[in-house]
Amino acid sequence: MSGEGDAPQAIRKLQPGRLVIASHNPGKVREIAALLEGRGLDVVSAAELDLPEPEETGTTFVMNAELKARAAADLSGLPALADDSGLCVEALGGDPGIFSARWAGEGKDFAEAMRRVEAKLGEIEDAPRDAHFVCALALAWPDGHVEWFEGRVDGTLVWPPRGDKGFGYDAMFLPDGAAETFGEMEEDAKHAISHRADAFRQMVAAVF
């Protein structure tokens, strides 16, 4: 989906070469790099290039992903791919949502963030535990062109958290139809069904 104007435009193809992953989150960078394997791309993270982390001022996942991708492409002179993702809990009105990382605080303590989610649910009598993850991907070029894609996976929240794989809220999220949380799943199993994998499937079909 093009980020330029309202008129329909052909999706721009991503050529082999260097690509910036506009993230300072090592877990996210590893997961994105694995999903891009075999595409002829030389992947480098924003952290490796010492690019600053822009303030996420958008009001949607797509807006924040686009903001990060544009900033990295502009500063590096390379195509840049950004992900904005988060956990949306129905009983909490969609929170933490776009503030998922902020719930972990400056120290990015997601164990604390998960405890906070559980505590908020505990304040609601008979709160349903339905939740979903959303992932928005924005692919930006230095000339300002942007393509974006959005994926989702539905599930329920478990407590206590289970598993030490993955990152973020993975250990408390049980995808619908699965016996293991994202925190318990091997990487390949998670990549088959995750919100990020859903968005990547759309992107790969469009830009490669």
Tell me the pLDDT tens digit for each residue of 54-108.
Answer: 999 999 999 999 999 999 999 999 999 999 999 999 999 999 999 999 999 989 9
Name the pTM for this structure: 0.89
Does residue 9 have a pLDDT over 80?
Answer: no
What is the pLDDT confidence band of residue 6, given thresholds at 50, 70 and 90?
very low
Find the CATH number of the domain harbouring 117. Answer: 3.90.950.10
Question: Does residue 8 belong to any structural domain of this protein?
Answer: no
CA–CA separation, 208 vs 198, rounded Å? 16
CA–CA separation, 63 vs 202, rounded Å? 18
pLDDT recorded at residue 28: 86
Question: Does residue 114 belong to any structural domain of this protein?
Answer: yes
Question: Does residue 6 belong to any structural domain of this protein?
Answer: no
| Structural tokens at position 17 | 């070469």
Question: Does residue 11 belong to any structural domain of this protein?
Answer: no
Question: Does residue 5 belong to any structural domain of this protein?
Answer: no
- In this prediction, residues 146-152 reach a mean pLDDT of 97
pLDDT recorded at residue 31: 87
Question: Does residue 183 belong to any structural domain of this protein?
Answer: yes
- The total number of structural domains that make up the chain: 1
Domain that holds residue 152: 17-207
Between vectors from CA 129 to CA 119 and to CA 113, what angle results, nearest 5°?
40
To which residue do tokens 């859903």 refer? 198
Does residue 47 have a pLDDT over 80?
Answer: yes
The verdict on whether 95 is a catalytic residue reads no
Q: Which of 6, 83, 84, 154 is labelled catalytic?
A: 84
pLDDT recorded at residue 1: 52
